[in-house]
Structure 1
């Protein structure tokens, strides 16, 4: 089912959905005009890429101008590579949002009576919303830096903000070309970053779900079951009732764990090509921006590139940070600590070992063994089904970008 404006307000992805709606990706109304708006935004992005290709291929373009065009083209191509598949098959994103809402709602009901557990669910939502809003505002600042710069530093020279029309000398439809370039770059960049924030928010919330499951598993104990039953261990038949309660609670935890794993598998399939696309274009854009900021003789170009550098780096870090948080919550090698009034583990496998399994029923131990075997397999998101996404990957991508920059610097020195 598609979302409306009112139903999106009840979603855990409320901010991300509405930001994508603002830039023509996520319709919150059933109107042909919105589909036309989406098609227009993507068409402007394609036109912007064609302008860049013509400018780079034109012999009159110098190296500095070519670098600026390539930076814009890489960013625009990244947004188009995400936006076109999104518009083509929005149903899979609708399904993802509904399934995530169901997971969070189920956990919220189970944790509503415990303020600490409720905070574990609420704090990641607030943090993800703040990150998405901060990135949106940073893009607004980028627009203020990039778009009016030619009018401020080159008044009367009829310079365009991103791509110059050398064959026509920027004299044909100058005002229209200026507006089209600004609108195309602004919308497509927001689409690209908006998709990144959407997927990062989903991963952050999944990590919170895994954390709740690990706490629930590690907290399983006979004493807790006795407290829930309201009986003392010395009463006849209370031990059997306690074991039945433990077995039931463990089954509920395992059910939640399996639902999260199935969701992560579908999320991986959806996110894999998007993450790979972003990694490639971010490395190229960061390399070109760093090169331009170092070797450009024009102060305006240096200022623009320095201001732009956090954008591709932030997009890559967003994926690596969010994906690493999921892996960390399911890492069988992670050690446990003492929080929440009991010994609990970040990893599901260690949480199962930390629960009160000694002296439990045979059925409880059998089910727990199955959980421990499944939890030994780490949850790792990948890009291109081969490149793991974690914090180490961020450092490798930064190093790759710097290596390309150093290579360009050597070529330029010759």
Structure 2
């Protein structure tokens, strides 16, 4: 049962990568268009970043984050994949073992010594699967993550531009009023400031509409990929948890045996087994939380509670800024 479960989990993981690869190949032109439109979206606000330290920093921060994410994750998985492929070659196994270890799934009656040719083919096939899955599955995740980082950077630039709309104009109006004290000149300055502020605001609105349009395009392209990944990952977790639930039947199986009339030492051992089996065998995350449905629901509740706390703190900060 353990080998079957591990094989199914590995198969679902590889199938997830195959789904992403097929989606990319069947929508390759759309992916190219996605990248081209991202470049156009960045170019729309690039002129505002030239000569402005804060906007340039926001743009460069997005570039650096996307670069670190891409190279860091892919290099880490590439090194991990190499180790995954090399470790089975140095693993020690009993001489009478009918099978030899492989990178992903150990195939029954495929021995390194007795079936060297078949073992070599299986080993190369699984190594190719490990390395190719790294680029097809994880590479797709990093691709979408990098795009989201760039879009977030554009939203950050837009936020800075919007927050600056009242800085320069109000200062000019106050300076004119304190220097000349003429209502007519102040009114002219206000009219000129209102016109320039309106023009800049219209540009910000157009840029915001372009960002939203791009996000709609991104969502329409990528929504099958997270759906497949979510379903397959949940399927893998369910298979693992289903196997763990078999430990709960140990107590009932021990009680169902023919213990009537047995010696005291037999019944003592049966009580120990039943007592131990009543404690469910669980996988844990960092030796802290068990991986089960209750933990998943509590994690969702905690995430929403933390989100609500952050929103309340943000609203309180905005109210304090408005009152001051």
TM category, shorter: 0.5 to 0.7
- State yes or no: 1:266 paired with 2:217: yes
Task: Please list, as runs of the form range in 1=range in 2, the aligned pairs for 1:278-293 lying within 5 A after superposition.
Answer: 278-286=229-237
* Structural RMSD (CA): 3.8
Tell me the distance in 1 between the aligned counterparts of 2:47 and 2:317: 26
Query: 1:225 and 2:169 equivalent?
Result: yes
User: Quick check: 1:216–1:253 contact (8 Å CA) kept in 2?
Assistant: yes
Give the corresponding residue for 2:33: 95
Q: Which runs of 5+ in 2 are unaligned?
A: 247-284, 286-303
Deviation (angstroms), 1:139: 1.1
CA separation of 1:294/1:169 partners in 2, compared to 1, >3 Å: closer, same or farther? farther
Q: Confirm or deny that 1:152 pairs with 2:90.
A: yes
Name the structure 2 match of 1:249. Answer: 200
CA contact (8 A) 1:68 1:292 kept: no
Deviations 1:53-106 (A, max 9, x none): xxxxxxxxxx22223212321211111111111111211111111111111122
Give the match's secondary structure for 1:173. Answer: helix
User: 1:156-183 CA deviation, whole Å, 9 max, x = no partner?
Assistant: 7643322333366672532122112101
Among residues 160, 180, 200, which one is paired with 2:125 in the alignment?
180
2-structure distance, mates of 1:84, 1:120: 35
Residue 162 of structure 1, aligned match among 104, 117, 125: 104
Q: 1:220 to 1:336 in 2, by over 3 A?
A: farther
Q: 1:238 and 1:125, CA in 2 relative to 1: closer, same or farther beyond 3 A? A: same
CA contact (8 A) 2:49 2:56 kept: yes
Please give the alpha-carbon distance, in whole angstroms, between the structure 2 residues aligned to 1:217 and 1:332: 22
Output the CA distance in 2 between the equivalents of 1:114 and 1:337: 26
Pair 150,122 (structure 1): closer, same or farther in 2 beyond 3 Å: same
Per the TM alignment, residue 217 of structure 1 is displaced from its structure 2 partner at its CA by 1.8
Q: TM-score, normalized by length of structure 1?
A: 0.52
**Residue 200 of structure 1 corresponds to which residue in structure 2?**
145
Structure 2 length-normalised TM: 0.65
> Which runs of 5 or more structure 1 residues have no equivalent in the other structure?
1-62, 296-305, 307-323, 344-353, 355-414
Q: Is the 8 A contact 2:62 2:153 kept in 1?
A: yes
Alignment partners' CA distance in 2, 1:160 and 1:120: 47
Q: Secondary structure at the match of 1:237?
A: helix
User: SS state of the match for residue 223, structure 2?
Assistant: helix
Look up the SS of the partner of 1:133 in the other structure. helix
Return closer, same or farther for 1:174/1:289 CA change in 2, 3 Å cut-off.
same
Q: Does 1:117 align with 2:55?
A: yes
Q: 1:123 to 1:153 in 2, by over 3 A?
A: same
Instruction: Give the whole-Å Cα distance in 2 for the aligned partners of 1:294 and 1:130.
Output: 41
Q: Which residue does the alignment assign to 1:335?
A: 315
1:293–1:103 CA distance, 2 compared to 1 (3 A): farther
Structure (1/2) with the larger helix percentage? 2
Seen in structure 2, the aligned counterparts of structure 1 residues 192 and 167 have a Cα distance that, compared at 3 Å, is same
User: In the TM superposition, what whole-angstrom CA distance separates every residue of 1:289-313 from its partner, at most 9, and x where no partner exists?
Assistant: 7899999xxxxxxxxxx9xxxxxxx
Q: Distance in 1 between matches of 2:48 and 2:24?
A: 33
Deviations, residues 381-412 of structure 1 (Å, cap 9, x unaligned): xxxxxxxxxxxxxxxxxxxxxxxxxxxxxxxx
Q: How does 1:344-383 map to 2 (within 5 A)?
A: none
Structure with bigger RCO (C-alpha 8 Å, 6+ apart): 2
Greater Rg by CA: 2
Residues matched between the structures, number: 249
**Residues 278 and 102 from structure 1, CA distance in 2 versus in 1: closer, same or farther, beyond 3 angstroms?**
same
Alpha-carbon distance, 1:188 to partner: 1.7
Q: For residue 203 of structure 1, report the CA deviation from its aligned partner.
A: 1.1
SS at match of 1:162: coil
